Amino acid sequence: MEPSFWLERWQSKNIGFHREAYHPALQGHWHKLGVEPPSSVFVPLCGMSRDMEWLAQRGHRVVGVELSELAIDAFMNGQNLTPVVEVRGEFIVKSAGPYELWCGDLFTLPEACLVSISAIYDRASLVALPPPMQTRYAQWLKQKLPGAPVLIVSLGYDQSEMTGPPFSLPEARVRELLGDHYDVVVLSSDEVINDNEALRNRGLTKLHETVYIARGTL
């Protein structure tokens, strides 16, 4: 999947994947990671997610990465923040308050921006990536952030009803991607199609949301 796909979605405001409310999985399960503030949380493919605000309200520093500068600007504007803007290599970095948001390609993030990360919140990465990129992303996590626990929100559905993104990510696939490095524990699993009008409109009749904690074992 080319970066232009997501850049065009943000440009055209085709962002049905964005939630105005904090995600219930984050609110209900974050404490189970045992990560105390003011530790830093990494939010890959962060968009303008208000979940970053929720994490910051609990005292965390938030480091995000996102392809679309429009999304980062929308988030900062929504927080009434005027960020400091820096160019670091191929990235534009916008920092304000507890937030440090990197605009660019996740896979080329410099290691220096990850050294302080204590945990990862993944609501929008694995499900946003097609299978080959899911594999690449999982390997990247294991190499770059091997000790940080991950709170993962995944979706499962019949892909004959709809093509991704978001992509169906059943439990077997999550374990295939992460099980060689992480102890993967299911925290909750719920039918959520009634809460997803946009996906119902795309033809889905069932949608299962599963939340995991993945902790490194090596």
Do 109 and 57 lie in a common domain? Answer: yes
- Tell whether 158 and 214 lie within a shared domain: yes
54 pLDDT above the threshold of 80: yes
pLDDT computed for residue 198 by the predictor: 84
pLDDT value, residue 190:
94
Residues 54 and 109 in one domain: yes
Q: Is residue 18 predicted with pLDDT exceeding 80?
A: no
Contact, 48 vs 71, CB < 8 A?
yes
Q: What is the CATH classification number for the domain harbouring 1?
A: 3.40.50.150
What is the structure's pLDDT at 15?
58
Predicted local distance difference test score (pLDDT) of residue 163: 86
* 200 in the same domain as 137: yes
Same-domain check for residues 114 and 73: yes
Q: State how beta strands 208-216 and 182-191 pair.
A: antiparallel
Instruction: Report the 10 Å Cβ neighbour count for 149.
Output: 18
Confidence at 2, pLDDT banded by 50, 70, 90: low
| 135 and 98 within one domain | no
* 44/134 same-domain check: no
Band (pLDDT 50/70/90 cuts) for residue 6 is low
Looking at residue 217, its pLDDT comes to 83
What mean pLDDT do residues 161-182 have?
93
